[in-house]
Chain A
Amino acid sequence: MVQRIEIDHSRFKQIVRGAIRRDLKRHIANGAMIARQGAKSVSIPLPEIRLPRFTFGGEGRGGVGQGKGKPGDPIPGDPQQGEPGEAGEEAGEHALEVEVTLEELAKILGEELALPRIQPKGQRTLASEVSRYTGIRRVGPESLRHFKRTFRRALKREIAMGGFGGKGGVIVPIRDDKRYRAWKPRTLPQSNAVIVYMMDVSGSMGDEQKEIVRVEAFWLDTWLKSQYRHLETRYIVHDAEAKEVDQHTFFHLRESGGTKISSAYELCNQIIDRHYPPVDWNIYPFHFSDGDNWSGGDTARCLRLLKETVLPKVNVFCYGQVRSTYGSGQFKNDLDAAFPDDESVITSDIPDKDGIMASIRAFLGKGR
């Protein structure tokens, strides 16, 4: 028998999904969501889900508290602290924030865009580590301190030293008394995927273009993470030269050189060869640019590189062309002409933020 609460619970989740879905375009275009990158879940404010009622207005309300302090002191732990400018604005509008795991979000995205599940490659699996608390040790962070054991050690010591006569008093543990929980790693098998993001950071890519890339990369990441338990990401930026960077740099860097796309593809190929043998890894290179390449000669080089080295190793190669005022947008045409029927090359045009959904659908809709 299905438990009653499960019916209520799934109805609630259905309502949440409905609310997110209705506004998916806005949520997707919302760059703030990406601030949570790396977290397991995001909170989405869903004011339409709460049940309102006649109630007292929020901020102006005083109250009674307990603790130290003199008049004029701020209340410790008051979340409004430190942002005097905004405090009055949102009086009492504590919108219901729903914690949604990225997996759930990706699922909603998948349903809305009708994305197929990507078939895992699964020839071989690699191991990953999980930690479990199993024992006690003498060093560790305070957050893992074992209260009872520490207290017992301290008490024993005090008594042994004759400092504690059983009549009361304060037990203060010293360093030697402290005990901490200890953990052991365990390995779990997993299937693997790597995304290689490549971005053109030449002078023609402005902040707006980068923002679009950033948001799109986040959602690609989220979807692919829901498909694979372990996802690695590598970041390459290029103008006339390519280099590998970390995530933060990838999204913030601004260069202003010429553009040689082949440099990025070469580096991408090297990274794959060095770290990700295609037998074990699902490989997804994504390249974003405004479509302006330095010369026709370089474009030809790019096409050759793709055909001969990159494409045989990867699941799919995706090229997203962000529209910009300065770019010619020629590169996409060249790609389309060179691989007219090749399913492993997907190109898409992203005119603005609202085009992100369509672009994601183009990239992931094939389910490779």
Chain B
Amino acid sequence: MTLPPELAAEERRIREVAAGYGLDFFQTVFEMVDWKEMNTVAAYGGFPIRYPHWRFGMSYDQLSKGHAYGLHRIYELVINNDPCYAYLLKGNSLVDQKLVMSHVFGHCDFFKNNLWFAPTNRRMVDELASHATRVARHVERQGFSEVESFLDSCLVLENLIDIYALYAPKKARPKPQSAEEEEAPQRAPVRFGAKGYMDRFINPPEFLDEQQKKIDEEKQRPTRFPERPERDVLLFLLEHALLKPWQRDILGMVRDEAYYFAPQMLTKIMNEGWASFWHSRIMTRDILAPSEIVDYAERHAGAMVVQPGRVNPYKIGIELFRDIEERWDKGRFGKEYDECDDRERKRKWDTGLGLGRPKLFEVRRIHNDVTFIDAFLTPEFCDDHQLFTYDFNPKTGRKEISGRGFHQVKAKLLRSLANAGQPVIEVADANFLNRGELVLRHRHDGEDLNPGYAQETLRHLQRLWGRPVHVETVMEGRKRRFSFDGKENESSDL
């Protein structure tokens, strides 16, 4: 349903104010929905149409119950698409609707301009609708339960993608070699062209020998498959698992969707922080009527609330953006500022530089959460916002505050954000023991996998691969391999 006239007028006003601040967004379409429609759209991740699957039903169930018990309420929902679609809940007060609209324009600007969103498909609404049609067709031909259980398996593996591959140049896949090429003359070390008398210096014999040895060694080594570890496990399965065409099609869709949603995982803090920064600025400076201040403040505070032991991305994000604006407005950065150790002077530091606004827009353009925290989290900020680290204490059986040191906090925060909070897992060997068994390797960096989940996940992986599958990881300091051979789960020390 389109907006009623009074909301449409507000929408125009907010859009103009936002654009006046320099926000630059795709055309943004607001839809009025009732709470049932809102829950539906939210269950589908913001989209009107998805393929049929019970997990959407599950989130719908949870959302509806949460709504019925008054536990939570969805205020804003916006999707990265051109045009952007955003949903407003019917029956919300006018000030809520204005707040949501201001917030949404922040998100839309972020979707359009943040570099990490650049590779995403801006026609995702259409794409997902087409996925739905394709899955429906497979259901007709293969039967419902067949397709459903295959989808289950694909979704289990959904996080095994190489998030950063989106931003690397496309790897050229080596063409299959013809027999002739394989028989081609042996590789020799590269010789640079040189005049006779210089040859000894430009191509020193020791170096050539060394190169020759390396080439020989390489020939001796049994060929590995894949040659290099592959981070995009789903791609590897697409290309090398023995799948039927319909299965390949479904796996491909799940992978496409995973890549579409990946940038949102990479920029949770920034995206919410940016949108909150702008709704706060637009509302308080331009839009609010005096009588609306209390309602607005209550709602805003509700979104920014900090639960102990958790970091609220809205709160951290908005405060970091405000901090950046202030620092660049007052020239609080650079060598001179960093080297000043007079606290009082630092507190009053103001060179009148006034670069806050341009800096903000630069930051929203080039950073993701990891680089954002890395570059802009300061010791002062940690102090002001009472950040701490916590750890599980096995002696008392509870989580306890372990410190407030800046480096500690920063390291922990970065770790939780790295690879969007997912373990790094790659295909290490697809011909393990020369029996076509698949070995994944978890690049362990201090945190163990959940063993129960790992075992269950292997069962799904095995369905796709067909042969026995393994994952190598480290549990409590010891190397460990979990396996599933199609019948039983096993685990063994390495």
Contact = CB atoms under 8 A, between A and B. Distances in A.
Select the residue from B53, B157, B385, B392 with max chain A CB neighbours within 10 A.
B392
B456 A52 contact: yes
Interface of A: 3-5, 7-13, 15, 49, 51-78, 80-88, 91-93, 99, 147-148, 151-152
Contact of A75 (B53, B295, B390, B397): B390
Contacts of B398: 74-75, 78, 80-82, 84, 87
B311 A59 contact: no
B412 A12 contact: no
Contacts of A13: 57, 61
A151 B416 CA distance: 39
A63 B447 contact: no
B320 interface: no
A74 B395 CA distance: 12
Given A64-B412, A66-B385, A85-B397, A54 B442 contact: yes
Given A11-B54, A54-B425, A77-B307, 7 more contacts: A54-B422, A61-B447, A65-B390, A66-B387, A75-B309, A82-B398, A87-B394
Contact of A84 (B158, B387, B396): B396
Interface stretch (B9-17, B189-197, B400-408): B400-408
Contacts of B55: 8, 12, 51
B49 A66 contact: no
B40 interface: yes
B35 to A, nearest CB: 13
A66 B386 contact: yes
B49 A56 contact: no
B400 A72 contact: yes
8 contacts: A5-B56, A12-B61, A52-B452, A52-B453, A64-B412, A67-B386, A71-B400, A78-B398
A57 B450 contact: yes
Contacts of A148: 294-295, 298
B354 interface: no
A75 B401 contact: yes
Contact of B309 (A8, A10, A78): A78
A70 B448 contact: no
Select the residue from B50, B54, B412, B422 with max chain A CB neighbours within 10 A.
B54
A55 B61 contact: no
The 10 nearest A-B residue pairs measured at CB? A84-B397, A12-B57, A8-B57, A87-B397, A75-B309, A62-B391, A52-B456, A9-B57, A57-B450, A76-B308
A81 B422 CA distance: 27
Contacts of A11: 52, 54, 57
B101 interface: no
Given A63-B416, A87-B397, A68 B454 contact: no
A342 B160 CA distance: 66
Contacts of A52: 156, 452-453, 456-457, 460
Interface in B36-87: 40, 43-44, 49-50, 52-58, 60-61, 65
B444 to A, nearest CB: 11
Contacts of B229: none
Contact of A65 (B57, B298, B388, B471): B388
A64 B401 contact: no
A64 B450 contact: no
Given A51-B55, A63-B389, A77 B425 contact: no
A72 B156 contact: no
A15 B53 CA distance: 11
Interface in B350-404: 385-392, 394-404
A58 B442 CA distance: 17
B52 A7 contact: yes
B54 A68 contact: no
Nearest to A77: B308
A57 B60 contact: no
Contact of A54 (B43, B387, B453): B453
Nearest to B312: A66
Given A12-B54, A13-B57, A78-B309, A91 B450 contact: yes
Interface string B168-208: 00000000000000000000000000000000000000000
B156 A53 contact: yes
Contact of A60 (B54, B156, B392, B460): B392
Contacts of B40: 3, 5
A69 B422 CA distance: 29
B311 A64 contact: yes
Contacts of B401: 65, 69-75
Contacts of B52: 4, 7-8, 11
Contacts of A55: 159, 422-423, 449-450, 453
Contacts of A82: 398
Contacts of A84: 395-398
B451 interface: yes
B490 interface: no
Nearest to A76: B308
Interface string B271-306: 000000000000000000000001100100000001
Nearest to A15: B54
B413 interface: yes
A51 B460 CA distance: 10
B409 interface: yes
B392 A65 contact: no
B309 A65 contact: yes
Contacts of B160: 54
Interface in B394-445: 394-404, 409, 412-413, 416, 422-423, 425, 442
A29 B158 CA distance: 38
